[in-house]
Amino acid sequence: MTDGPIAAARADGRRTLTEAEGKRLLADAGLDTPPFAVCATAAEAVEAGADIGYPVVVKVSSPSVTHKSEWADGAGVAVGMESADDVRAAAERIFDAATERDIDADVLVEAAMDLDAGTEILVGGLRDPSFGPVVVTGLGGVFSEVFADTSHRIAPVTRAEARAAIAELQVADLLAGYRGSDAADLDALADVVVTVGDLVADHPIAELDLNPVLASSDGAVALDALVVLEETEADR
């Protein structure tokens, strides 16, 4: 099942999966993502927002756009959309920006998650030239590039290795429950680490970046997914 989104990208001659394809890859592997819909028009986006339930997040969905929050002067991601008018305006801004840049783009509408309910964690996978498949776990969200709080394991990893990687982090105290806050479900977070390791080890994935994964007492949910495939002869 996990080969489906990869095969679709290969068939299109792409190395980069859309966020929706990346999240379908995760779902096929048993990981949780927010409910979402991919929409080709602003009207479809409005309908999706009503079906999913407000608040929602509206994002650009295109293999041409890997860093959505920085794209088109911030048009690529709109958070906290509370109404049909909000969604329509955000979607139209994305479609207009895509037209100006001459790229094909859809709009992804997904349920907004309460970031204050958990801790944002980065879980990534890559193919190191020396070590092969590697899993990186660390502090996620906007602080991932500010604080070098990461741990590394060669993939595939066991559940015990995943738990040990999480325990090494400086943010581990927050995950365990800090000053009365609820502890995160560390087994669920470890499952994400194990699964990312399996995906990178078993599939032609050059880079898999889940940032953030929201780790809370209710589980671990991947809020974003960037997947880049390995080069083929045709890519060279």
DSSP H stretches of helix in the chain: 3-11, 19-28, 42-52, 84-100, 159-167, 172-175, 186-202
pLDDT at 233 > cutoff 70 = no
Q: How far, in Å, CA of 129 to CA of 68, rounded?
A: 28
Which amino acid, residue 234? A
Same domain for 134 and 229, yes or no, is: yes
Is 205 contained in some domain? yes
Q: Which of 94, 111, 128 is the last residue of a domain?
A: 111
State the pLDDT at residue 181: 83
Q: Which of 95, 111, 127 is the last residue of a domain?
A: 111
Q: How far, in Å, CA of 162 to CA of 87, rounded?
A: 38
Query: Are 155 and 133 spatial neighbours (Cβ–Cβ below 8 Å)?
Result: yes
Is 227 contained in some domain? yes
226 C-beta neighbours (distance < 10 Å), count: 18
Query: Are 40 and 62 spatial neighbours (Cβ–Cβ below 8 Å)?
Result: no
Same domain for 84 and 191, yes or no, is: no
> CATH number, domain at 139?
3.30.470.20
Same domain for 157 and 231, yes or no, is: yes
State the pLDDT at residue 84: 98
Least confident of 19-28, 95-104, 137-146: 137-146
pLDDT at 119 > cutoff 70 = yes
Model confidence over 45-69: pLDDT tens digits? Answer: 999 999 999 999 999 999 999 889 9
Q: Which domain holds residue 205?
A: 115-235
Same domain for 181 and 95, yes or no, is: no
Q: How large is the average pLDDT for residues 149-157?
A: 96
Is 20 contained in some domain? no
pLDDT at 162 > cutoff 80 = yes
Q: Which of 111, 132, 151 is the last residue of a domain?
A: 111
Same domain for 101 and 212, yes or no, is: no
State the pLDDT at residue 142: 72
Q: What does the mean pLDDT of the chain come to?
A: 94
Q: How large is the average pLDDT for residues 121-147?
A: 89
Q: How far, in Å, CA of 192 to CA of 184, rounded?
A: 13
